[in-house]
Amino acid sequence: MSIITAVDTFDVRFPTSQGLDGSDAMNPDPDYSAAYLIIRTNAGDGHEGHGFVFTIGRGNEVETAAIEALRLHILGREAEELLGDMGATWKLLVHDSQLRWLGPEKGVMHMAIGAVINALWDLKAKREGLPLWDLLSRMSPEELVSLVDFRYITDALTPEEALDILRRAAPDRGERRARLLTEGYPAYTTTPGWLGYSDEKLARLAKEAVAEGFTQIKLKVGASLEDDIRRVRIARETLGPDIKIAVDANQRWDVAEAIEWVGHLAPYDIAWIEEPTSPDDILGHAAIAKALAPIPVATGEHVQNRVVFKQLLQAGAVDVVQIDAARVAGVNENIAILLLAANYGVRVCPHAGGVGLCEAVQHLSMFDFVAVSGTKDNRMIEFVDHLHEHFVTPVHVHDGSYWPPSALGAGNEMLSQALTHYSFPDGAAWTATPSALVNLTSS
């Protein structure tokens, strides 16, 4: 038996707005950041649980405060009790009767819960000597179903239906696990497509992406129709007909505008239109999907919880479910979303990039392949080659694929020197570059 003795938090920010990496129609100057926590115990085994919320700068201190508000449920508790029933632990955090008012189940508070849940999963996987994807893939269908809170989703997925999905996939888990280790999991790259890049840089990076083995790239759109048509045309001409080109509007449009704008890009064979409008607009996405079919509609990186994903699926509003490791309430809720998507036969292509999102979300897709949907067909995980060097076990992406991590844990752990150097506002990255602070003086 061991006790959780510390829940330490860190406000970590990278001055990425100094370049234009990460720029899109809604996020012109992000400073990629993490509201980060480390859970420590007195077990003496050296294992810590790491987790984070990804943000893009200002307000990261609010997210950090939200993680701290959850301490009362974790600190001083028996680790084995919390880790032994992660379904109950999830409900303990999400259904706190007072904190719930701050959502419910959305925004700052819900993301903070996600970070704590993910840190607990990181600790649990390390203790069990497995990477998270493998830990989840070894759990029984009954254990997996116990992780999911079915509140508000039983009209789209019952516990019995979830069990059926998992039981159908169970017999061939071993075979798919072996395939995963030898084949990897497909990736696509957004590196060429940031809005701030010149046409020349776009073409060069697109060519490099194909040379590196990627079969899909993604371009940011939505600021200028003329520019978008030119950029998509350049990409198509550069890449030829066989490479997929997705476009991402980052919520730039209203419904009618989305339909019209994407119509102008359709001749260039669009792999999907991502975030055409508000992530809250289920009916809007449904209208867009209907009008633009057969162009698939993708969304999810800002979708707040399983209840909204449920409706997107019920309404036929989404063709590509883009889970995010750090938006909903962590691993448990993402399992609910994977099961919902499987029940509706819709593919999942996770959002990643940012800081640590690739490292974290790959575990969920690999688990999905082994134990839930059982397929990688037409599925891929986003990849952005950025900031991986700050992680203890950065992703292995080569030949156009993510390769299954063998390191213990959930992939969330940042190097301690990065936590120190990029600590905001007192880390050397900020004190040495006062100009970088201009963009972030929110307190």
Q: Report the C-alpha gap between 177 and 51 in whole angstroms.
A: 26
Residue type, 25: A
**Two structure tokens written together for 378:** 């037409």
Of 70 and 331, the one with the shorter C-beta distance to its own copies is 70
Out of 16, 191, 216, 304, point to the residue binding its own copies (CB under 8 A).
304
Distance CA 280, CA 287 (A): 13
- The DSSP bridge partners found for residue 189 are 217, 383
408 near its own copies (CB under 8 A): no
Q: Which residues of 405-431 are buried (b: 16+ CB within 10 A; e: fewer)?
A: bebbbbbbbbeeebbebbbbbebebbe
Binding residues with its own copies: total (CB under 8 A) = 69
Instruction: Considering the complex, state which of residue 210 and residue 259 has its C-beta at the smaller distance from its own copies.
Output: 259
Interface with its own copies, residue 307, by CB under 8 A? yes
| 3-state secondary structure (DSSP) of residue 427 | coil
Reading the block at residue 275, the tokens are 């975030």
Note whether 441 binds its own copies by CB under 8 A. yes
Cα–Cα distance between 258 and 292 in angstroms, integer? Answer: 9
CA angle, corner 340, sides to 354 and 119, nearest 5?
45
Q: Is the peptide bond before 104 cis (omega within 30 degrees of 0)?
A: yes
- Least Å from the CB of residue 49 to its own copies: 20
Among 179, 204, 233, 302, binds its own copies (CB under 8 A): 302
Q: Which of 220, 310, 376, 390 is catalytic?
A: 220
Q: Which two tokens stand for residue 269?
A: 């064979």
What six digits make up the tokens of 284?
């809007």
CB of 31 to its own copies, least distance (A): 7
The secondary structure of 62-91 as a DSSP string is HHHHHHHTTGGGTTTSBHHHHHHTHHHHHH
Least spacing, CB of residue 270 vs its own copies, in Å: 22
376 is catalytic: no
Instruction: Tell me the CB-side half-sphere exposure of residue 106, using CA atoms within 13 A.
Output: 12
* Pairwise CA distance, residues 269 & 155, whole Å: 36
Residue 156: C-alpha distances to residues 164, 232, 282, 299 (Å): 14, 37, 15, 19
Stretch that binds its own copies, among 123-131, 182-190, 304-312, 423-431 (CB under 8 A): 304-312
By CB under 8 A, is residue 392 in contact with its own copies?
A: no
Interface with its own copies (CB under 8 A), residue from 21, 50, 52, 106: 106
Residues 80-99 vs its own copies: string with x where CB under 8 A? ----------------xxxx
274 binds its own copies (CB under 8 A): no
- Can you tell me which of 2, 29, 43, 385 binds its own copies, judged by CB under 8 A? 29
Q: Catalytic pick from 50, 124, 244, 351?
A: 351
- Residues in 146-165 that interact with its own copies by CB under 8 A: 150-155
> Of the candidates 191, 305, 362, 412, which one interacts with its own copies according to CB under 8 A?
305
Contact flag: residue 105 with its own copies (CB under 8 A): yes
Judge whether 351 counts as a catalytic residue. yes
CB of 310 to its own copies, least distance (A): 8
Structure tokens at 30: 């992000």
Residues marked active site are found at 220, 351
Where on the chain is the footprint of its own copies (CB under 8 A)? 26-31, 55-59, 61-63, 65-66, 68-69, 71-72, 96-111, 150-155, 251, 254-256, 277-284, 287, 302, 304-305, 307-308, 310-311, 314-315, 439-443
